[in-house]
Amino acid sequence: MSASGESGTAVSVTGASKQFAPLVALGDRIAAALGGSVERRSVRAVDDVSLEIARGETLGLVGESGCGKSTLGRLVAGILPPSAGTIRICGEPVMSQGRRPRKLTTRVQTIFQDPYASLDPRMRIGTIVAEGPVHHGLVASADAAAYAARWLAKVGLDPDAVPRYPHQFSGGQRQRIAIARALAMQPEVLVCDEPVASLDVSIQAQVLNLLLQLRRELKLTMLFISHHLGVVRHVSDRVAIMYLGRIVEIGPAETVYARPQHPYTQALLASVPQLVLDGDAPGSFRPIAGELPSPLSPPPGCHFHQRCPVALPRCSIESPQLRDAGPGQAAACHLVASR
């Protein structure tokens, strides 16, 4: 599905898949050594995904835990090599001969969910922020402290915090440090993997607004991964819905939220609890029936057919492809294909 926009494509994912082979248990290894047969099934975390993100655009990637959205983010960031398919950042392959080209490191950066785990507790904040830029020649080591201070100020922190350590900051401040570290590399593409999920609700809005402000100011392209539909709607130009490794719907955020075409998107939106204020009628929400199937043995045909309230007999046999479902919108459902 193509990204709209006249200024070109920043991220291009074509037929990307990622499989993980689970570790073989000791019992299975012994059985194999004794000549027994051991079944080795792999997890297909990302399954033949194609999408594009235009320069300056934010694509929100939504789905339940375990749907493969973080793995797709890591493929785009070049942290994991794809098992199949290609991923390009501004025209350059993210992987070349199994390795990430050096200049790609500065072009795409990642902000992770947990600011407690993503910052080295033994390093000073100034070193954390400036280490990458110095290593990649973006700034001279003599200017590293001043460079780090500039980025700390940019994310709303005291520039004098350069000599301090991560444990001296709150969760929200740590996430600002993680944002400063990513942006100090002067990337064109930012992969945000649940960047506010571990923060207090009162802090989430501050960090989101900071990201939106910096996106505008620095003309960043963003892949924004979240399981929170409200957050994704707030930040995204377009949104992609992922289910068991596949994109099942993609389109302009407002359109997908107002007129979801895929039964999974419809179920996902209906499952969001609404806040009930004084005087309001009690809200209602409908949890999605069943559970996400194991990616070790995904159902045949449409992966969603066991939970889909409108499944057809063919749904358990034929896998639906993404098809046009409106202006800029596409959904992978046999019902959409027959309309």
Q: Which of residues 237-296 bind ligand SF4 (CB under 6 A)?
A: 262-263
Closest by CA to 203, choosing from 227, 243, 173, is 173
The closest alpha carbon to 11, from 237, 184, 177, belongs to 237
Q: Per the structure block, which two tokens stand in for 292?
A: 């996400």
Please pick, from the candidates 43, 304, 322, 325, the single residue that binds ligand SF4 as defined by CB under 6 A.
Answer: 304
Q: How far is the CB of 263 from ligand SF4 (least distance, A)?
A: 4
Q: Find the shortest distance in angstroms from Cβ 271 to ligand SF4.
A: 15
Name the nearest CA neighbour of 72 among 93, 57, 87. Answer: 87
φ and ψ at 137, to 5 degrees?
A: 75, 20
Name the residue nearer to ligand SF4 (CB basis): 68 or 320. 320
Q: Which stretch binds ligand SF4 (CB under 6 A): 66-74, 98-106, 226-234, 307-315?
A: 307-315
**Nearest approach, Cβ of 168 to ligand SF4 (angstroms)?**
50
Give the type of residue at 244: L
* CA–CA dist 93, 11 (Å, integer): 10
Helix (H) or strand (E) holding 19: strand 9-20
C-alpha dist (Å) from residue 121 to 152, 159, 196, 208, 285: 17, 19, 20, 24, 42
**Residues of span 309-328 touching ligand SF4 by CB under 6 A:** 310-312, 315, 320
Q: How many chain residues interact with ligand SF4 (CB under 6 A)?
A: 14
Identity of the residue, 153 or 312, whose beta carbon is nearer to ligand SF4 in the bound complex? 312
Pick from 18, 174, 215, 305 the residue near ligand SF4 by CB under 6 A: 305
What is the residue type of 164? R
Q: The tokens of 323 are what?
A: 């098809």
Q: Which stretch binds ligand SF4 (CB under 6 A): 27-35, 110-118, 297-305, 321-329?
A: 297-305
State the first-to-last Cα distance of the chain, in angstroms, to the nearest integer: 19
Task: Pick from 308, 322, 325, 330 the residue near ligand SF4 by CB under 6 A.
Answer: 308
**Candidate segments 68-76, 204-212, 225-233, 306-314, binder of ligand SF4 by CB under 6 A:** 306-314
The verdict on 152 binding ligand SF4 (CB under 6 A) reads: no
Site string for ligand SF4, 169-208 (x = CB under 6 A): ----------------------------------------
- The residue range among 94-102, 199-207, 252-260, 303-311 that interacts with ligand SF4, by the rule CB under 6 A, is 303-311
Alpha carbon distance 231, 301 (integer Å) = 31
Q: Give start and end residues of each alpha helix (H) in the chain.
A: 26-33, 69-77, 102-107, 125-135, 144-154, 171-183, 201-218, 229-235, 253-258, 263-270, 334-338
Taking the complex as a whole, the smallest distance from the CB of residue 314 to ligand SF4 amounts, in Å, to 8
| Min CB(308)–ligand SF4 separation in Å | 3
Nearest-approach distance from CB 262 to ligand SF4, in angstroms? 6
For tokens 């930040």, the residue is 235
Find the shortest distance in angstroms from Cβ 248 to ligand SF4.
7
Work out whether the CA dihedral 30, 32, 35, 40 comes out positive or negative. positive
**Residues in touch with ligand SF4 (CB under 6 A):** 262-263, 302, 304-305, 308, 310-312, 315, 320, 333-335
